[in-house]
Amino acid sequence: MPDTEGYKDRKHAGRQLARSLAHYAGQPDLIVLGLPRGGVPVAFEVAEALGAELDVLLVRKLGLPGKEEYAIGAIGSGGVRVLQPGVPGLMGLTQEQVDRIAARELAELERRDRLYRGGRPPPRLEGRCAILVDDGIATGASMLAAVRVASRQRVARLVVAAPVGAPDTVARLAQEADEVVCPLAPPRFHAVGQFYRTFGQTDDEEVQDLLAQAWAKPAAGQG
């Protein structure tokens, strides 16, 4: 599959994305933050290529009831909540329903934080260059929540990066971040998965394994 059409899988996408981020290679205080779960395999390849620290930034999409794949918004740590225009009100959605969805996703966000970090403290972001990575950008709700979370921590430079994205969403995010790197933004974008040959679910075990690999390296280097 040519790169202009899409990617073999998330690993391939991460390596291709890293090429577009090569100007950050070796930069001091650089950190790559993957959005679990699907963004972590992509972010792992980016961090490897750039020689950067890898970590996760936890956000959760808020799905429309009955059509959960459609994001009505997203939440992030520190009370960040991003809602799509028209929410509440969209398709009769009430504020009470939005709050219930957000509460459920907050519980999942906290579960993942315990599972992935295992007591490890969150990374220091203040004054650093942070590259936020996902496997693709559709509505942009999750990435926007991630941008807001990172911005609150006073990063020096904030970069949004994804292998593929909807053109209008990419343009909106460019107004929120210092730079948006998205090699593939086709006009006929329908879903992220259409641009991957293999796009299965990333599970918790894969995220844990990739983080363990990344986090073991500094300790080994210090020894």
Instruction: Say which residue the tokens 């959960």 belong to.
Output: 68
CATH entry, 10-218, from 2.40.100.10, 3.40.47.10, 1.10.10.350, 3.40.50.2020: 3.40.50.2020
What is the pLDDT, as a whole number, of residue 84?
85
What is the pLDDT, as a whole number, of residue 223?
35
Q: Degrees (nearest 5) of the Cα angle 185, 68, 82?
A: 65
Q: Cα–Cα distance between 85 and 89 in angstroms, integer?
A: 9
What is the pLDDT, as a whole number, of residue 2?
40
pLDDT tens column, 24-48: 999 999 999 999 999 999 999 999 9
What is the pLDDT, as a whole number, of residue 91?
79
Q: Degrees (nearest 5) of the Cα angle 104, 109, 111?
A: 95
What is the pLDDT, as a whole number, of residue 218?
60
What is the pLDDT, as a whole number, of residue 66?
86
Question: Domain locations in the chain?
Answer: 10-218
Q: Degrees (nearest 5) of the Cα angle 144, 174, 178?
A: 95
Going residue by residue through the chain (223 aa), what tens digit of pLDDT does each one get? 444 579 999 999 999 999 999 999 999 999 999 999 999 999 999 999 999 999 999 999 999 888 888 889 999 988 899 998 889 887 788 999 999 999 999 999 999 999 999 889 999 999 999 999 999 999 999 999 999 999 999 999 999 999 999 999 999 999 999 999 999 999 999 999 999 999 999 999 999 999 999 999 864 333 3
Fill in the amino acid letter for 222: Q
